[in-house]
C-alpha cells in the first residue's frame, strides 16, 4: 500500500500565506456535470495533479495525474471500460491505481502503478480526499448549503482567484469591507452582533444598517423591501452569520422570524503548486419566494449582482496577494478581533509548508502488480 500523505501542523510563527491547506479533508475538484461517462479530466490540489476518471460503468475514481512510465498526465488519456489508458504508450490503470496492461509487454511483467485517492460525489461535486487515505472514512463531507432542499434554488459557481486560500476566508468573515461594495449595494454598515468559537470553527454574526442610497433592486427582490425610516439609521431585519469550520466556510441569512432565507457554502482549493491561486467551489441556496416562477425571473439578476460583488472581492484579494509578494511576507495589521481569531484558527488547522510527498510517490511505485484483467 502507498504511504499516506502526511502533514504536520503549521507553527504559530508560520507566515499565514505560506501555511499549506490541510489535506485531511474532502475537497471538491470538479463539478459532476463536467465529467461525462467514459471521460477523464485533470485537476490539481496544490502540488498534486489528480486525474478524475468516470469509467463506462461504476463510480468516479481519482488517480495521481502522472503515468508511472514517463509521468505524462493520465487525464490526457483514454477511458476504456473501467480503466484509463495513458495517451503515450497506452499503459492502462484501474481504480486501484495499479497498472493492469502494457500493450507491448507480456502480461506477467507489469510495472507498478500510481497513487489513488478516495473519491466521492455529492451536491453535484466530485470530492477527493488528498491526505491520509486511512482517515477518509472517518472524516465526513461538509453540509452543502440547501442543495438537496426543494424549497431552495441553488446556484453553483467556481471562480479562480490568484491568491492564497486564507485571503478568501478573511474576506468573507470581515463584513467591515462593505465600503468596497458601496457601488453595488449602496451605503450599508455592518453591526457586529456576536460570535461563537471552538477548536475548528469560528462564527461571526452581523446585522446591517442602510446609511444612505436606495436598496438595490436585486437585493430587494431577494429579501423583500425594507421600509426604512429616512429620518434615522435603520437596522435591516436579517441576521447574517458567517462561519469558518475549517476548511469550509458558510454564510447564512435568517429573516426576522429566524427562518433561513439564504445559505452559501464555499470551499477554497489551491490549484497551483505554489498555493497562490485558488479555485472556489460555491453553492448559493436562495429560499424560493411564495410566487411560483418569481425565483426564475430574478435568477439572472441575482447572478449578475453576485458576480459583480465577487469581482470586486477578487480584484482586492489579488492586490493583497501582490503586496505580500512584493513585500516578501505578511504585513497584515489586523484590528478586528474576529478576524484575528480567524487567522489564528487558519494557522492552527493548516499544515506546515511544503509537505514532501516524494517518499510517498516512491512507495506507490513499489506496489505489487495486479493480476492482468485486460
Ligand atoms: S508515458 Fe504513459 S504509457 Fe508511456
Ligand atoms: Fe466582499
Name the residue at shortest CA distance from atom 4 of ligand 1.
89
Strands of 32-122, DSSP E: 39-45, 48-54, 61-64, 78-80, 83-85, 92-93, 99-101, 116-117, 119-122
pLDDT of 12 > 90? The answer is no
Residue 119: its pLDDT value, please?
Answer: 98
Rounded Cα distance between 244 and 97, Å, is 34
- The model's pLDDT over 63-96, given as tens digits with 9 standing for 90+, comes to 999 999 999 999 999 999 999 999 999 999 999 9
At the topology level, CATH places domain 152-349 in Naphthalene 1,2-dioxygenase Alpha Subunit; Chain A, domain 1 (3.90.380)
Domain limits, the chain: 27-128+355-364, 152-349
Could you confirm whether domain 27-128+355-364 is CATH 2.102.10.10? yes
The pLDDT value given to residue 322: 97
What mean pLDDT comes out for the span 363-368? 37
pLDDT band per the 50, 70, 90 thresholds, residue 233: very low
Q: Is residue 67 in contact with ligand 1, taking CB distance under 6 Å?
A: yes
SS (H, E, C) 316-344: HHHHHHHHHHHHCCCCCCCCCHHHHHHHH
Which atom of ligand 1 is found nearest the CA of 90? 3
So what's the pLDDT on residue 183? 83
Q: Which three cell numbers stand for residue 342?
A: 480567524
Tell me the ligand closest to 185's alpha carbon.
2
Is the pLDDT score of 374 beyond 50? Answer: no
For 116, half-sphere exposure in the C-beta direction (CA atoms, 13 angstrom radius) is 20
The pLDDT tens digits of the residues spanning 315-359 come to 999 999 999 999 999 998 999 999 999 999 999 999 887 754 433
CA–CA gap between residue 135 and residue 333 (Å, rounded): 37
How far, in Å, is the centroid of ligand 2 from the Cα of 370?
Answer: 51
In this chain, the answer to whether the domains covering 27-128+355-364 and 152-349 adopt an identical fold is no
Ligand number nearest CA of 73 is 1
Ligand 2 centre from 263 Cα, in Å?
16
Task: Give me the pLDDT at residue 4, please.
Answer: 43
Strand partners, 282: 157, 266
Record the pTM.
Answer: 0.87
Ligand 1 within 6 A of 69 CB? yes
What average pLDDT score do residues 3-22 get? 73
Residue nearest to atom 3 of ligand 1 (CA): 89
Amino acid at each position: 500500500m502507498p504511504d499516506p500523505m502526511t502533514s504536520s501542523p503549521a507553527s504559530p510563527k508560520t507566515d499565514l500565506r505560506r501555511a499549506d491547506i490541510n489535506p485531511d479533508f474532502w475537497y471538491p475538484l470538479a463539478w459532476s456535470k463536467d465529467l461525462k461517462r467514459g471521460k477523464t479530466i485533470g485537476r490539481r490540489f496544490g502540488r498534486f495533479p489528480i486525474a478524475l476518471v468516470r469509467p463506462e460503468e461504476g463510480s468516479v475514481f481519482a488517480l495521481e495525474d502522472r503515468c508511472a512510465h514517463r509521468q505524462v498526465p493520465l487525464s490526457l488519456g483514454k477511458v476504456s471500460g473501467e480503466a484509463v489508458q495513458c495517451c503515450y504508450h497506452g499503459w492502462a490503470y484501474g481504480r486501484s491505481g495499479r497498472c493492469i496492461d502494457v500493450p507491448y509487454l507480456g502480461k506477467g511483467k507489469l510495472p507498478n502503478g500510481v497513487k489513488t485517492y478516495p473519491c466521492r460525489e455529492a451536491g453535484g461535486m466530485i470530492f477527493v480526499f488528498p491526505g491520509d487515505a486511512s482517515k477518509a472514512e472517518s472524516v465526513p463531507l461538509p453540509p452543502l448549503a440547501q442543495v438537496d432542499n426543494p424549497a431552495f434554488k441553488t446556484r453553483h459557481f467556481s471562480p479562480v482567484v490568484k491568491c492564497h486560500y486564507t485571503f478568501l476566508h478573511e474576506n468573507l468573515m470581515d463584513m467591515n469591507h462593505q465600503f468596497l461594495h458601496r457601488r453595488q449595494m449602496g451605503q450599508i454598515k455592518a453591526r457586529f452582533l456576536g460570535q461563537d468559537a471552538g477548536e475548528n470553527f469560528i462564527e461571526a454574526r452581523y446585522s446591517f444598517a442602510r446609511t444612505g442610497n436606495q436598496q438595490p433592486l436585486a437585493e430587494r427582490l431577494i429579501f423583500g423591501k425594507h421600509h426604512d425610516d429616512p429620518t434615522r439609521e435603520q437596522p435591516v431585519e436579517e441576521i447574517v452569520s458567517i462561519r469558518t469550520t475549517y476548511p469550509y466556510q458558510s454564510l447564512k441569512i435568517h429573516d426576522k422570524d429566524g427562518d433561513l432565507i439564504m445559505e452559501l457554502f464555499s470551499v477554497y482549493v489551491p490549484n497551483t503548486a505554489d498555493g497562490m491561486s485558488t479555485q472556489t467551489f460555491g453553492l448559493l441556496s436562495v429560499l424560493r419566494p411564495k410566487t411560483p416562477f418569481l425565483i426564475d425571473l430574478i435568477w439572472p439578476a441575482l447572478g449578475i449582482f453576485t458576480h459583480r460583488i465577487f469581482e470586486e472581492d477578487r480584484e482586492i484579494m489579488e492586490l493583497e496577494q501582490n503586496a505580500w509578494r512584493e513585500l516578501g511576507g505578511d504585513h497584515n495589521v489586523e484590528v478586528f478581533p474576529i478576524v484575528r481569531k480567524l487567522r489564528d484558527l487558519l494557522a492552527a488547522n493548516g499544515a506546515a509548508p511544503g509537505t514532501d510527498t516524494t517518499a510517498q510517490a516512491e512507495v506507490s511505485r513499489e506496489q505489487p502488480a495486479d493480476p492482468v484483467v485486460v
